[in-house]
Amino acid sequence: MNITQDRMKVIEIMSRLSIDRASRALSKTLKTGAMISLSNVYIADLSETTEKMNDDFREMTGVMVDFKGNIRCKFLFMLPVNGSFILTDLFLRQPAGTTKEYNEFTESVIQELGNILASHISNALVSDFDATLVPEPPHVHNDYAGVMFANLVMEQGMSDDKLLLMETKFVLSKNELECYLFLVPEMTSFVKLLDNIGVKT
């Protein structure tokens, strides 16, 4: 499927606006300056990207969310396991360094952050672009980065050999935290949404 340059520009704006909304929600949740910035929006070849990611053997914790509505979409927020300790301390208002191992609280914090980020991204797409989009309950996973990414794109790959990927970068409390947020909309339904809002070229 071809996406014209004009459409890519609109997609980039939509992504930026929804990521901004999620960023504000994250700051409020963690009561600290949190900034998520969009680092890249692109169309990727499914097999090439999966092959590249398969070589990533970093151990990560992540949360995956499916959306229901007129855009089918998947969301993955993942970060190295020790990064989740920092988020747990911030979320629970504990002194930094309190969380030293992955436990039920860490898992629950990652689950809730996934829920808040996914919900606020969908809120922006609904209010600004007339989409209908509601997240399903989040699922937390612990695995290699490559495996998690493969799980994210597997279903989408059955209907399309190209992926629309939105990648982001996180800065928390002035420290860059290595987090990854991928939003993978199913292309056909996303193009239909662009048609509906009048971006036809």
Partner 1 sequence: MKKILVVDDAKVIRMVIKRLLTQHGYQVAGEAGNGREAFEKYKELRPDAVTMDIIMPEVDGIQGLKDILAFDKQAKVIMISAIDQRDSLTEAIRNGATDYVVKPFEDDRMISTLKNIFGENQRDAVDSRQ
- Contact with partner 1 (CB under 8 A): which of 123, 142, 151, 189? 123
Residue with smaller CB distance to partner 1, 115 or 151: 115
Site size toward partner 1, by CB under 8 A: 24
Provide CB contacts within 8 A for 127, sequence distance 6+.
none
- Contact with partner 1 (CB under 8 A): which of 49, 73, 85, 120? 120
- Contact with partner 1 (CB under 8 A): which of 137, 175, 198, 201? 137
Site residues for partner 1, 77-116, by CB under 8 A, read 91-92, 104-105, 108-109, 111-112, 115-116
20 binds partner 1 (CB under 8 A): no
Site residues for partner 1, 38-67, by CB under 8 A, read none
Site residues, partner 1 (CB under 8 A): 25, 28-29, 91-92, 104-105, 108-109, 111-112, 115-116, 119-120, 122-123, 126-127, 132, 134-137
